[in-house]
Structure 1
Amino acid sequence: MNKAQIVDLVKEGSVYRGLIQCEALGQGKDVALRFRHAKTENSIDIPCVYDKEEYRFEFDATMLQVKKGVYEIDLYEASTEKLYQVLVDQKEEVMFKGKYNLDYLVIEKSSRVYFPTYDSHKRLQFVICSLTNPEYFKVTKIACQNYVTTEKEIRFENLSWDEISCKEIKALFSENGGRVIEEMPMEYGKDLSYSLDTIKEVICENAKFKRYRAILLINDGEQLQRCWIYLNQKAEQPIVDPVLATWEDPVPVDETEEVEETEEVEKEIKKLMLYYTTNYYAAFAYEEQDAFYGKYAIANIEKFAMKNEKITMQASYVDFSAVPTKVRLAQRFEESYMDFPIQKTWEKKGVCYLNATIDLSAFQMIPFYLDFYVVFEYQGREILARVGCKRIRDSHLNKRLIRYTYRTGDGYVAYPYSTMYNKLSLVYREITKYDANIYKVKEMVSAWLYKGMRYYLNRKDIWLVCEKNSEMAQDNGFYFFKYCMDHNVNHKVYYIMDKESPDYKRLLPYKKNVIPFMSIRHMLLMQSKVILVSSEGKSNYFARKYVRGRIVRRFANKRYVFLQHGVIALKRIDSTFSKAALKAKLFVTSSEFEKSIITENFGYNDDEVIVTGLTRWDVLQDKSEEQPMREIVLMPTWRTWLEKMTEEEFLESDYYQMYSSLLQKKELVSFIKEKNIRLNFVIHPMLKKYVSKFASACDNIQIYQFGEAPINEIIMKASLLITDYSSVSWDFCYMNKPIIYFRFDIERYEEEQGAYVDLREDIVGDVCYDVDGLIQMLKKSVNQNYIVDEKFVQNRKNYFAYEDKNNCQRVLDEISKKYYE
């Protein structure tokens, strides 16, 4: 291969500019700088311009849009398709300091790094990697003999890089997780200074981060090193206090904001703190000081036992001059808690321990979740350390289902579990039929069977479908299952269903492919390599709120296709259905508009979100004119703030008062009787315990508990929908039927729940805010023979990519492409 030489290279920001000489090429045209991946052979070309016997190139590293890896650099002549290896000029010591030059590094804030180098044959290469890549950035530490803090700077003195043949050094400032925030100016020497003003600027621009690290990059000629500053004078001493220095109000306050003198303002007093970690690395924190100590305080379960209402635990903790005083059992999201004394503390081989006993019968618990803390006393303040349980997670909490269960005697059960972050918590809830010991025995038997059958089962191509609580067959899961059965797909598709459910009869035509919920067969398959396909979260495949046990842990990370319950737009639910929480491999949407909501807010990649339409829409058809009398559906969604209300509080809530008064409204009753209309009020499943509280003396008003009648049938028979923020409105929109949005609490809803669209403007139906306005809009729509306004007809085009009744097939194709191609 012919040769070329790079004779000049400069970097400005993320842009590289350089000159290449190639005598063999002459004044060739259509010449490009080719980047060829050393492993995949994929390549990308950067155009070159001929200028005075040299080829000039320029490119922005961050715009390359290529995979990480090592790229070989060649000159490519398009007319002859010849390649010319680019070598480093004999004066490489001018451009490079050894194999590298830190001045040529481009570091993105995602910690992706770009830099040129060369191989043993002096051939030019370009590397794209992470700052944590050990092949290029060897992790090491630099000891600091002393540090000095003033009002203007932080100085680390006598840094020990004597043993390193250091050609150059660069200082970075990163958030604690490794994301690079800023390149810090510094001069080569034995001391490293950080300007407090510079740190202030960094914190102001990156307010979402609370913890920071100083990173040093060192070029020794042959290897790049990523170094932490190590406070070695503390190495042989216990951590007395992690905070080494603090600065009050390090971030400027906006003094242009006027506050009335009579207004009481309560704000967090954050501090900039220089501290050292348990590994003695120097770090920075910017947060409220009590919150900092709370995160620094660490307690982990070493031994755990439970007998009836008594829990005994032994925990290790970090000693930083804070004294553990008690163990706290606290209701999550509530202010209620109870403290239990620590019986004993001691130290062994440099580790501190404590013993405590918790009596669950002494605390008046309320459902559902409680958390364990160790309470430390530090400088007159209480600091809470959440108790971790990673070391005992599998061997204790999630296997000893019978032993670690406390029945209160009043119909409730309490048991410990390990959260997804390996913290010790407690579930307290009403006893269900699935708490019987027979189901725990079934789980143990299925686990034993799986050990002997796993190689056989894991080779089977099995899909498991279910809907809410595995007791419904009315939504996207059922219609996808029905499609698979009717079209004889080349997969073993089964439906998980509670045999006592009223919907079980809908599955009788496919009985061979229906598996009884919580049967041994069900539990056995849940442990194998199945694909889960559902319109609900994975927790609906097993007894709700179990949150422990062998099976729960085994199916937590299974391949999972989320069919969705409705179109996501009117309610913010990214915390519930985010990628981190739901862990879906495919997420079904109905339009590019909805897909953008998911990719921008839920953390999913573009290829994980598919636009297919909802499977239940394949069977939707307008049956409204076939009915003996016109039907209207009133179907509101629930509110998060109603969840923990007592019955008395619920009956006094705006939600109950508004809908209860609507059902009793004489004007409404007279109108629907006059027009021979039936009003079907469908109550959300989260409020099913209050169904009996809603009543109407009018025969034209029917009240349904969700699931009591097939929702699809109710929707198809109806001529009009009254709802608030429910996604059922998209089914009516899909059939081009009129919708009235009754949003009497829109201000509170926007503040506490939120939406992804403007609830007043981005709509496909009329909006009203009180009962009188609702009745007037209803009369108008009925008198106009349920015609949809033209502006809403135009708006609906944004929300449906397909209206061809082929959604089930598209979902099937996407699953096959994901897992079988």
Structure 2
Amino acid sequence: MYYINVLEQNSEFQLIIQKKIFETLNRIMVGNQSIDYGYSAYDEEYIAINFLDNQIFAVNTFHSLEFIDNDNNLIDVGLKTNGTYPFLYNNDTQGLLVSFDNELLIKFVKTFEVVQKLKRSNQFDTEIVSFYEVNNLIGIHFKEINKEQQKNLIVLAKKKEDNQYYYVPALFNSDEILIDQTYFSGKYDLHVLILVNSTLFKCSFMSPNKMVERDYISIFEGNNEDVDGVLDQQELLQMIDLDAKELREEETILVVDNIDIRDNSLSFEIANHEEYNPIFRNPILLLRKRKAEDLYLVEGKKNIAKFTFNFNAFLNDANGSNRWDLFLLRVGLAKKHTIYRLQCFEPLPEDKPTRFFNFFKQPVDIKSTYNQKSRLYITNKNELSLTRNNISNLIKEQLEIKTQIDKFSMKKNVVNIRIKMNTPYIDQFKTGSVYLVQRNKDNLLKKGYPHAHVKKHDTGSYIECQIDLLSEELFPLYWDVYLGVFYNDNEYLIRVSRVSKKVFKDIDSTISKYQLNVNNEYIIYPYITITKDLSFTFRKREYFENRYYLFKENIAYYFVNLFYRYFSEKDIWIGFEKLAMSAHDSGYHFFDYVYKNKKHENFYYVIRKGSPEEDNLKDKKDKILYFMSFKYFVYMFAARLLISSDTKRNSYNLSLKKSKLAKTLTDKKLVYLQHGVNGLKVVKDFYKNRGVFDLVIAPSEYEREMIIEHWGYDDSEVVTTGLARWDVLEDKTDEISYKQIFVMPTWRTWMDGMTKDKFLESEYFQRYNDFLSSSRLENLLKENNVKIMFFLHPKFKEYIDLFNFESDQIEKFGFLEVPLDEMIMKSSLMISDYSSVIWEMFYLKKPCVFFHFDRDKYLDYEGSYMDFDNDLFGDVAYDTETLVDIIESYIKNEFQEKQHYGQLRNEYFTYIDKNNSERIYQAIQENKDMLYKESNIRKWKLTHIIPFKLRRMGLSAINKLLKK
């Protein structure tokens, strides 16, 4: 056997091999791939080989490392010592070369994923029993560890100085490992882990001085033994057992000086620091959220009078716009704690901008106007607080900037606006360009337009700007107006808020006055947002957005007004679903129930002609309203009640907010049947203050409480009945000759309007495409007669053809290409991420799997009412390999639901029967007083103009016309 050496120099991994081996070397194989490599002379006898990072390998699994000579024979090479030797393969992938029993293996891992899993990983059933020192190494002895576990063992070090993670070389020796004693210098925290496939287990966490897990209780009770490191947030809160209300009554003042922000750390000095004498060495900074009882603790360092705190964990955990007051906490026994409100030593500066400190450096700094930043500031009471918000609002607050668009004109593609800016600090900054910024949580996409003129006035300045909407390539969907502000050598984008009454009336009172056609396919137009700001919409023109349909709508409006009494007596209900295209959700099933049981004579359903689901209504043709027909417009104006599993915009083009029907619809009452269970996603658009629903149907008491608490509805406005579509759900897995897995990911708001090229670059596409293209998955499906049905959310329907996989076991479908409920009933397992549809599978007592590869981003951008760590009713995968592992386990277990998930069903569902539609109908009847109100249709009295006989003839004609 030839022995090789491993060298890492300047973060570059090299294998050192003898020249005589290299001269016979034909190729190097990693798994079944021939890897590209570079080489150079190391010295006279050896060659240094480095792997090139232009190839992609499956992560979290072992690949054999083999050297093949010119005769296609295997060269017998190895390392003298068993162990793990880490190397950086590319920017986000770490390589681990493992030498084990004369075998060379390589495992590739994503460091980010490993770090994310640390908090969620399980404790491994072993423990460290002793340490010893030998030469420059520290030996770590385990109570019990087998060879396979040792082979999968990794050591991860977090450097305290910058919170960066590093893999540590480790040598194997029987039931112990040896690592360099450098990592026990006090500069690192160590995690000993076992990574089996994609599952991570924690063996131990070691603080650098004691080299054992810290006993927090003994420290708390007064053991002042020198302990370094940072305590976990939850451990701190549990250990100290804080009560926010009690603390509020215990505040005293502590004066601080020399406040400094460096990256994500805060430091300050306390002149009378003897007043603060913590029980254990590390001081605790307490942050208390304003107008709430939320607390956050940050453990720091104390060096005589100087205190330093790393805010990295807080910046990672904090969500939303909020304010926090800062205190030092002195922990006492028996909950007798003391908090010291931090007050600044210097007198309160009169110049408000100087009261604000630098921004903390975000752990992940997303370039978006939605990105939340945190900064300290001095309050009017000269106390230290922290504010968290987007850059626009933070700069506006600091410079006391108020804006208004007080002039607006648009001729063809040219928009002229004047921004009135008020601020007492106009001389402290300069104004830059005006920008249109795409409304996007994940990226900063802006188009700049230099201002034409700036004129100062007594309390600020006027900024005039001309925007050519065709000079820059805009794309869907929303573009907001921002102004560049240069302050302290940086340009910040601030949202231009509010419009004058004149501008509001001009833009908000018309439909098409300012619509600009682009290539006969798209339109651009200005509109006023809910918060009275000016924005622009760029979207595809719908086929019905023309004068013909507008004329038809207007005629229907006057027609209904003319015969309002006749229509008001008909008591018309109207049902519909998504985009007036579908008939399979709860909107349809409730309509079907009412029709077949003759519960309400004048209940009609809206559908587009040619919809794939029009056939579902073929036995109810007498109650169909074809979208955009004259009859449709008449009945929409005349409707007493709307009943749907979707919002009103799905029954009409509410982008035309100022059309007659759009205005009328805002007054119509809507019974919301629910599109699905909402626990997985925060939906602020459904909150009561948005005015979208009048009676909300809850699928369960669990969700009813959530709707009342979070959405803001009264008890009387939410009724628990179950979902109408659940009445028809049944298990149909026996109707097909194979086992079926249904894969249906939901959409992402931060991907709205994304081009196909950008979609191909997204993590969303790459993760699902990698999963569906997995050769391991393909073999698993073939060997077990299993098929995958892949279905994209309607908002992503145009991307379905981008998924490219060659497998007879996988089929892909777009919106309405297959009946969704049939797909669910015939499936044995469902995989989704955050889609509400997965609750249907759970309802049917079938196993569910959650693919949460972008969990942290999703929770940051969207949020959830459920605790993803404790409340989910299925297995969770964060990467492709784990997802395939889970599928394999369910195949082997014949797709049986796990017992502990099944036990959650009684908690999440109130009714499991076939009577949901009946309960919904009863709820509507019981709430008629609230749902029925006098129509806002103008009551024209034309009896003195139209003779009675003519009106009778008109009514007869109406009946004939509407029956067609």
- 2:406 is the counterpart of 1:297: no
1:401 maps to 511
Q: CA deviation at 1:331?
A: 2.2
Give per-residue Cα distances to partners, 1:219-274, cap 9 Å, x unaligned: xxxxxxxxxxxxxxxxxxxxxxxx99556888999x9x9x9xxxxx9853545569
Structure 2 vs 1, CA of residues 390 and 510 (structure 1 numbering), >3 Å: closer, same or farther? farther
1:310 maps to 414
Contact 2:643 2:671 in 1 (8 A): yes
Write the letter of the residue equivalent to 1:607. S
Contact 1:306 1:312 in 2 (8 A): yes
- 2:559 is the counterpart of 1:449: yes
Structure 1 stretch displaced more, 674-683 or 286-295: 286-295
Alignment root-mean-square deviation, CA: 4.2
Alignment partners' CA distance in 2, 1:736 and 1:439: 47
2:583 maps to 473
Alignment partners' CA distance in 1, 2:467 and 2:855: 44
- 2:813 is the counterpart of 1:704: yes
Find the partner of 2:626 among 516, 520, 526.
Answer: 516
Alignment partners' CA distance in 2, 1:266 and 1:631: 46
- 2:886 is the counterpart of 1:782: no
Q: CA deviation at 1:692?
A: 1.0
Give per-residue Cα distances to partners, 1:674-721, cap 9 Å, x unaligned: 332332111222221111122333323221113211101111111221
Give per-residue Cα distances to partners, 1:135-165, cap 9 Å, x unaligned: xxxxxxxxxxxxxxxxxxxxxxxxxxxxxxx
- 2:725 is the counterpart of 1:725: no
SS of aligned partner of 1:446: helix
Find the partner of 1:330 among 418, 432, 436.
Answer: 436
Write the letter of the residue equivalent to 1:308. K
Q: CA deviation at 1:398?
A: 4.9
Give the 5 Å matches for 1:86-485: 208=322, 267-268=374-375, 270=377, 272=379, 290-292=395-397, 297-299=402-404, 301=406, 305-312=409-416, 328=434, 330-333=436-439, 334-339=444-449, 341=451, 358-372=467-481, 385-388=496-499, 390-391=501-502, 393=504, 396-398=506-508, 400-409=510-519, 411-485=521-595
Structure 2 vs 1, CA of residues 632 and 351 (structure 1 numbering), >3 Å: closer, same or farther? closer
TM-score w.r.t. the length of structure 2 is 0.52
- 2:617 is the counterpart of 1:540: no
Contact 1:462 1:492 in 2 (8 A): yes
2:77 maps to none
SS of aligned partner of 1:758: coil
Alignment partners' CA distance in 2, 1:286 and 1:686: 32
2:737 maps to 628
Q: CA deviation at 1:390?
A: 4.2
SS of aligned partner of 1:299: strand
Alignment partners' CA distance in 2, 1:351 and 1:266: 26
Q: CA deviation at 1:764?
A: 2.0
Alignment partners' CA distance in 2, 1:646 and 1:808: 41
Contact 2:792 2:813 in 1 (8 A): yes
2:802 maps to 693
Alignment partners' CA distance in 2, 1:335 and 1:655: 19
Contact 1:295 1:385 in 2 (8 A): no
Alignment partners' CA distance in 1, 2:460 and 2:879: 63
- 2:760 is the counterpart of 1:651: yes
Q: CA deviation at 1:757?
A: 1.9
Structure 2 vs 1, CA of residues 522 and 377 (structure 1 numbering), >3 Å: closer, same or farther? farther
Q: CA deviation at 1:450?
A: 4.4
Alignment partners' CA distance in 1, 2:374 and 2:735: 62
Contact 1:322 1:377 in 2 (8 A): no
Q: CA deviation at 1:810?
A: 1.1
Q: CA deviation at 1:617?
A: 0.1
- 2:598 is the counterpart of 1:488: yes
Q: CA deviation at 1:818?
A: 1.7
Paired residues, what number?
565
Contact 2:405 2:417 in 1 (8 A): no
Contact 2:698 2:720 in 1 (8 A): yes
Alignment partners' CA distance in 1, 2:388 and 2:886: 54
Structure 2 vs 1, CA of residues 528 and 417 (structure 1 numbering), >3 Å: closer, same or farther? farther
- 2:915 is the counterpart of 1:792: no
Alignment partners' CA distance in 1, 2:775 and 2:487: 64
Alignment partners' CA distance in 1, 2:656 and 2:928: 29
SS of aligned partner of 1:416: strand
Q: CA deviation at 1:612?
A: 1.0
Alignment partners' CA distance in 1, 2:461 and 2:663: 31
Structure 1: state its 5+ residue gaps. Answer: 1-178, 181-206, 211-242, 260-264, 275-284
2:683 maps to 574
Give per-residue Cα distances to partners, 1:67-126, cap 9 Å, x unaligned: xxxxxxxxxxxxxxxxxxxxxxxxxxxxxxxxxxxxxxxxxxxxxxxxxxxxxxxxxxxx
Q: CA deviation at 1:482?
A: 0.7
Alignment partners' CA distance in 1, 2:402 and 2:855: 42
Structure 2 vs 1, CA of residues 393 and 748 (structure 1 numbering), >3 Å: closer, same or farther? closer
1:72 maps to none
Write the letter of the residue equivalent to 1:791. H
Alignment partners' CA distance in 2, 1:352 and 1:407: 34
Structure 2 vs 1, CA of residues 403 and 815 (structure 1 numbering), >3 Å: closer, same or farther? same
Alignment partners' CA distance in 2, 1:292 and 1:495: 50
Structure 2 vs 1, CA of residues 654 and 345 (structure 1 numbering), >3 Å: closer, same or farther? closer
2:702 maps to 593
Q: CA deviation at 1:756?
A: 2.0
2:920 maps to 811
Q: CA deviation at 1:636?
A: 1.9
2:138 maps to none
Write the letter of the residue equivalent to 1:504. E
Q: CA deviation at 1:605?
A: 2.0
Write the letter of the residue equivalent to 1:696. F
1:531 maps to 641
Contact 1:590 1:613 in 2 (8 A): yes
1:47 maps to none
Contact 1:368 1:429 in 2 (8 A): yes
Write the letter of the residue equivalent to 2:396. A
Alignment partners' CA distance in 1, 2:450 and 2:561: 42
Alignment partners' CA distance in 1, 2:395 and 2:834: 40
Alignment partners' CA distance in 2, 1:456 and 1:778: 60
Contact 2:375 2:388 in 1 (8 A): no
1:756 maps to 865
Q: CA deviation at 1:363?
A: 3.6
Q: CA deviation at 1:800?
A: 0.6
1:607 maps to 716
Structure 2 vs 1, CA of residues 489 and 663 (structure 1 numbering), >3 Å: closer, same or farther? same
Give per-residue Cα distances to partners, 1:144-199, cap 9 Å, x unaligned: xxxxxxxxxxxxxxxxxxxxxxxxxxxxxxxxxxx99xxxxxxxxxxxxxxxxxxx
TM-score w.r.t. the length of structure 1 is 0.61
Indicate the percent of aligned positions where both proteins have the same amino acid: 29
- 2:876 is the counterpart of 1:771: no
Contact 1:618 1:805 in 2 (8 A): yes
Write the letter of the residue equivalent to 2:537. V
Alignment partners' CA distance in 2, 1:708 and 1:798: 34
SS of aligned partner of 1:678: strand
Contact 2:414 2:466 in 1 (8 A): yes
Structure 2 vs 1, CA of residues 537 and 292 (structure 1 numbering), >3 Å: closer, same or farther? same
1:660 maps to 769
Write the letter of the residue equivalent to 1:486. K
Find the partner of 2:911 among 802, 811, 820.
Answer: 802
Q: CA deviation at 1:622?
A: 0.8
Give per-residue Cα distances to partners, 1:636-683, cap 9 Å, x unaligned: 223334335433332233322222222222332233223323321112
Contact 2:482 2:495 in 1 (8 A): yes
Structure 1 stretch displaced more, 412-421 or 290-299: 290-299
Write the letter of the residue equivalent to 1:406. L
